[in-house]
């Protein structure tokens, strides 16, 4: 039985209950974070809490908890759930109101829900052990505020589900000019002429914490070039490597896009080098 944190209390997951009038339930009116942790060590804690605070203020949810308070909740939850490789999900919804109305009143008490879930063990730094992804592509049919990590994820859910129903692990999303944005649950990269390229941040992609840490580590290491620029669909198909990143998955190589092999279906050398750099440095964030 797992332990969760709901409205200031650690309780067994079976006892967790929220009001059906909670705006998170009725409207998806909330924001969230997923933090990776390995044997109690959380990766990118401050970056995640900074992003949570940015998102709360973007949607007008007031909750002035300090980093220290969030840290204590995360650490206690990880301990109560037995350590290991855990994702920690932090959810702040605007809270319950007596009447359903799209607009909201001031001063609602936000609902804070935190739980943990198993994630794959610490990243494998070996080509033969990593399970690479096969992905599909789609026109991005989500909204134009994807920089906010909002709990209203129906657009992402539909994109991922459609890809998975057709046997793919992920769906890469493109704008109407066939320019790459991100995946339905991850950021995306290509490798071309030995350089790692990823789309620049804007309101159509999430500023991923794994992206932030990976790019910073690659820039500091200096052995692989890094570029943030627009990537066309043709460049994805002709790339020597394609990768995706997220907090719960790490850095995963992609060997097939819409049935077309990338790097002859083999995990690439640049991925292996980047994976080594990421694994060695990620705990410093």
Cα–chain center distance at 159: 15
Is residue 6 close enough to count as binding ligand PDD by CB under 6 A? no
Please state the closest distance from residue 182 (CB atom) to ligand PDD, in A: 5
Please state the closest distance from residue 59 (CB atom) to ligand PDD, in A: 16
- Name the residue nearer to ligand PDD (CB basis): 187 or 263: 187
Interaction mask 7-46, ligand PDD, x per CB under 6 A: ---------------------------x------------
Phi/psi of residue 276, nearest 5 degrees: -65, -45
Catalytic choice (53, 149, 249, 282): 149
Say how far apart CA 236 and CA 90 lie, in whole Å: 33
Please state the closest distance from residue 128 (CB atom) to ligand PDD, in A: 25
Mark whether 149 is an active-site residue: yes
Task: Find out whether 139 and 174 touch, Cβ atoms under 8 Å.
Answer: yes
| Cα atoms found within 13 Å of the Cα of residue 183, Cβ hemisphere only | 30
With CB under 6 A as the contact rule, the residue among 248, 252, 270, 274 that binds ligand PDD is 248
Is residue 246 close enough to count as binding ligand PDD by CB under 6 A? yes
Please state the closest distance from residue 76 (CB atom) to ligand PDD, in A: 21
Phi/psi of residue 90, nearest 5 degrees: -110, 125
Task: Find out whether 213 and 44 touch, Cβ atoms under 8 Å.
Answer: yes
Q: Specify the stretch interacting with ligand PDD by CB under 6 A; choose among 75-83, 222-230, 246-254, 277-285.
A: 246-254
- Name the residue nearer to ligand PDD (CB basis): 22 or 182: 182
Please state the closest distance from residue 111 (CB atom) to ligand PDD, in A: 18
Task: Determine the 3-state secondary structure of 43 from DSSP.
Answer: coil
Question: Residue 39, exposed/middle/buried by CB under 10 A (0-12, 13-18, 19+)?
Answer: exposed
- Name the residue nearer to ligand PDD (CB basis): 111 or 248: 248
Please state the closest distance from residue 72 (CB atom) to ligand PDD, in A: 22
- Here the tokens at position 59 are 């949607």
Is residue 93 close enough to count as binding ligand PDD by CB under 6 A? no
**Which residues in 203-222 contact ligand PDD (CB under 6 A)?**
206, 208-211
Say how far apart CA 84 and CA 52 lie, in whole Å: 24
With CB under 6 A as the contact rule, the residue among 112, 186, 190, 277 that binds ligand PDD is 186
Say how far apart CA 163 and CA 54 lie, in whole Å: 31
Is residue 247 close enough to count as binding ligand PDD by CB under 6 A? yes
| Cα atoms found within 13 Å of the Cα of residue 23, Cβ hemisphere only | 24
User: Taking CA 229 as the corner, what is the angle to CA 224 and CA 232, rounded to the nearest 5 degrees?
Assistant: 105
Q: Which residue, chain included where needed, has tokens 């790019």?
A: 215
Is residue 242 close enough to count as binding ligand PDD by CB under 6 A? no
Q: What is the DSSP letter of 146?
A: T
**Which residues in 138-157 contact ligand PDD (CB under 6 A)?**
156
Provide the angle, in degrees to the nearest 10, between the axes of the packed helices 45-59 and 209-221.
130
How many residues make contact with ligand PDD (CB under 6 A)? 15
Site residues (CB under 6 A) for ligand PDD?
Answer: 34, 156, 182, 185-187, 206, 208-211, 245-248
Question: Which of the residues are catalytic?
Answer: 149
């Amino acid at each position: 039985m797992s332990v969760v944190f709901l409205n200031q209390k650690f309780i067994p997951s079976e006892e967790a209950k929220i009001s059906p009038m909670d705006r998170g339930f009725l409207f998806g009116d909330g924001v969230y974070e997923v933090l990776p942790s390995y044997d109690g060590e959380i990766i990118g804690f401050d970056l995640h809490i900074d992003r949570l605070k940015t998102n709360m203020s973007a949607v007008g949810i007031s909750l002035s908890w300090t980093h220290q308070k969030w840290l204590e909740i995360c650490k206690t939850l990880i301990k109560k759930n037995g350590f290991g490789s855990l994702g920690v999900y932090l959810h702040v919804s605007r809270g319950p109101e007596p009447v359903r109305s799209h607009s909201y009143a001031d001063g609602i008490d936000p609902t804070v829900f935190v739980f943990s879930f198993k994630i794959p063990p610490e990243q494998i730094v070996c080509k033969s052990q990593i399970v690479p992804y096969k992905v599909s592509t789609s026109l991005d049919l989500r909204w134009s505020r994807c920089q906010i990590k909002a709990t209203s994820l129906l657009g992402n859910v539909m994109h991922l589900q459609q890809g998975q129903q057709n046997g793919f692990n992920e769906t890469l999303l493109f704008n109407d000019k066939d320019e790459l944005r991100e995946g339905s649950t991850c950021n995306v990269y290509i490798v071309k002429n030995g350089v790692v390229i990823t789309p620049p941040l804007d309101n159509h992609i999430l500023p991923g914490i794994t992206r932030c840490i990976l790019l910073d580590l690659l820039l500091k290491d200096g052995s692989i070039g890094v570029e943030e620029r627009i990537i066309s669909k043709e460049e994805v198909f002709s790339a020597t490597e394609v990768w995706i990143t997220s907090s719960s998955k790490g850095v995963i190589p992609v060997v097939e896009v819409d049935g077309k092999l990338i790097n002859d279906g083999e995990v690439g050398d640049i991925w292996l080098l980047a994976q080594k750099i990421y694994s060695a440095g990620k705990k410093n964030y």
